[in-house]
Structure formats: structure tokens, C-alpha cells
Amino acid sequence: MNPNDLQPTTPWHLAERAEAMNPSAIREILKVTERPGILNFAGGLPSPETFPVDAMRDACATVLGKDSAIAKPSLQYASSEGLPELRQWVADEMGKHGATVSPEQVLITTGSQQGLDLIAKVLLDKGCRLLVESPTYLGALQAFTPMQPRIESVASDDEGVLPEALRAQLEDMKEPARFMYLLPNFQNPTGRTMLEARREAVLAVCRERGLPIVEDNPYGELWFDQPPPKPLLARWPEGVIYLGSFSKILAPGLRLGYVIAPPALYSKLLQAKQAADLHTPGFNQRVVVEVIKDGFLDQHVPTIRARYHAQRDAMLAALARELGPTGAEWTRPVGGMFVWVRLPEGLNAQALLPKAVDAGMAFVPGAPFYASEPDARTLRLSFVTSTPAQIDQGMAALGKVVRATLMR
């Protein structure tokens, strides 16, 4: 119930930006899918099997050890920018990906989701233009929407935004857009990746038209056969804000992410961060520094890649078997956690969901991931929290429901 509808019986009056907020469609859907016994492909969670519990325990013991000099500092208030060692690690890591980043440009955030929220506060005004992929990450739409921008989707294919469509859209625009939000690697929700030529073509348009980019990359390390092309940040340092995260390579419960911003924007993001939460938990930052300092991720991340790779293979094989003959289409992700399915003509993913749940499996309908003109035939499947046997079983259930619906 909207308190503004209750006037004058309530003394509260919602801000316009609060009226613009809406519940995450996914969380609402997940309630339906959380029935016991359901094979759940709807969530966006990493596999808990990948969480390095032993390394975390050892690091906590080190930080809180009896004579530890870092115990009390890690429990004290800390700097808003983040722990220097962690900022340095991020800068070094980006160097390995071809981007020259100074630690002063790194802002440690409470998950990269907070980075999206800070960017929205610092860069968006009511009525301003903002460009996104079609479809795009729902959590970003949630972060941007309260600022009441006019969100425009750019036509996209299985490599992301189409440079020519972008060019035409920019020509049409009387006022420039504040930025374009892009997910070049193993995108949530589609699993697609921008290849080298597409990155260059899109960047050429952005550079030419002075359209800055927010590059969100929580999945980039989760590649299967080969690393993705170098980040957009490495190609246009002054025109890109970059978001990274520890959620998919260590654990999301740590709530650790980071924003890399050009110096001109950094101080504004920092001020927004101070207002939001003063700083990201120093204890979590210190523990993560302890975990990663001796190259732990070099051993750990390949185990995640191998696990997800096998699950992706199982998912693609099961989809070919179960949905191949129905006329459905799906993406073939080369990393990440998701496959995006387009059901055969005449089917609607939202309408199909209750039947799928009755048959024992759940997915997320694709419509909420579109800022405009949703494709009601689409749905997202996560392959990382199910075993290959569960994937087989779940896709068999989906195939059965799709075939039964087509026959009607």
C-alpha cells in the first residue's frame, strides 16, 4: 500500500523517488519457486560449493589472533575509500587486464550493487536520458529507477548492443544521455559476451558522441575456455566507470565490491558513499586481504570455472535434447552462470512458470529484465546451483511443459 494513497489518515508522505521504487520482480517470483522439492534454476546465486570456508576461517583466525596487531583496527571505523591493501590489489589486478589504474581511483563498496546505487545518485537526474542493453541486469534498473531517469533500451543481439542501432539512437537524441550501462562479459541475464570487434565498434560510437560508459563486470573471471577480451576501461580510461565484485569469486555474503572511477568523479562517489554507510565493513576487507594476499585466487578461481563449465555443458546438452525439437532458442554462454532461452512462438514465459513449478522446476521469466518492450517469450536459467543430474531432470520437466503447452 502506498502511504500517499492514505492521505490524510497518515502523517507520512512518500518522496517521488520512493514512489518510483518497486519490489524486485525476481524476489517476488522466487517466493513461488521456493517450494520444497522444486529444482530451482531461477536464482542468481553462486554455488555455495565454491565458498572457501577453510580459507575464510584461517583468515579470521589470523585477523583476530591473540596477539594480532590488526584485530582492533579491523573492528574500528575505517576509511571510506577502503583498505589500502585491497585498493592496491584491485589496481594490480586491473593492470593484468590491460588497464592502468591507480589505487586512488578505487573505491571499495558494499557489493558492486552499492556501486550502482552511488553512480545513480551522482550521475542521474529526474528526466535525464540513460541507455541500457536490451535486456539488462534487473538490479541495475532497480538502482537507477528511483532517480527517475528516462531509461532507453538499445537494440541488442547475442553480443550486446548493436553499434549501428546505438549510433541511430544517439543521432535521434536532442539531449545527450548521461551514460550507457554495459555488461560485456557473460551478461546477467543472457550469458552473452561482447567480442573484440563489438567492443571496439561500440566504443568508437561512444567516443565519437561523447557517451560515457558504466561497465559492470562481476562475472569476468568465470570464463570456461579462454578469458574474455580486455575490459572497456582499458580502452577508454577517462570515459568508463568500472564495477567489480568479490561475490562470484569468493562469496557474496561478504558484500565486497569496488568502483574504479576517473579522478573527476571519484570525490563525488566518495561523498555519496560516506552518506550511505561511512565505509564498507573493515573486518570483511581485512579478512579478504588475508585470504587473497598470497595468490589464493589463482588456485581457487580455476576450480569455480571447471565446476561451472561442466554444469554449462550439462545444461546445453539437456536443452538440445529437450527443447531442440520445439523451436525454442537459447544462448551458449562461454562463461558466467546463466543461459537465456526464447520459447517457441505463441508461448509466454510468465504464464508457463506455474506449470513448470507444478512439473518440479523453476526459472525466471525474462520480461522484468527489459527496460522497455519486453520479450514475453524469454526466460533465464541459472546452471550453477544444480548438479548435472538435476539439470537433466529439470530440463526434462521444462521440455515436457513446453511440448504440452504447444500441443494445446
Residues that bind ligand PMP (CB under 6 A): 44, 111-113, 137, 139, 183, 188, 216, 218, 245, 247, 252, 257
All three cell numbers of 315, joined, read 545444461
Q: Least CB distance from residue 146 to ligand PMP, whole Å?
A: 17
E-state strands within 203-262: 213-216, 240-245, 257-260
User: Which CB sits closer to ligand PMP, 193 or 405?
Assistant: 193
**183 or 194: CB nearest ligand PMP:** 183
Q: Do 178 and 128 meet the contact criterion of CB atoms below 8 Å apart?
A: yes
Q: How far is the CB of 112 from ligand PMP (least distance, A)?
A: 4
Minimum distance, C-beta of residue 243 to ligand PMP, in the bound complex (Å): 7
Strands (E), 299-346: 329-330, 338-342
CB closer to ligand PMP out of 81 and 216: 216
Q: Angle of helix 296-323 relative to helix 388-407, nearest 10 degrees?
A: 30
Q: Smallest gap, in angstroms, from Cβ of residue 137 to ligand PMP?
A: 4
Of residues 328, 334, 350, 309, the one with CA closest to residue 395: 328
Measure the N-to-C terminal CA separation of the chain; round to a whole number of Å. 38
Nearest-CB residue for ligand PMP: 111
- Given the complex with ligand PMP, which of 44 and 366 has the nearer CB atom? 44
For the CB of residue 37, give the shortest distance to ligand PMP in the complex, in Å: 25
Backbone angle region of 307, left / alpha / beta, with phi > 0 → left and psi within -120 to 50 → alpha:
alpha
- Nearer residue to ligand PMP within complex by CB, 336 or 399: 336
Write down the least CB distance from residue 403 to ligand PMP, Å.
31
Q: Which is nearer to ligand PMP, 98 or 253 (CB)?
A: 253
Alpha helices per DSSP H over 101-155: 111-123, 138-144
Cα–Cα distance for residue pair 40/30, rounded to 1 Å: 9
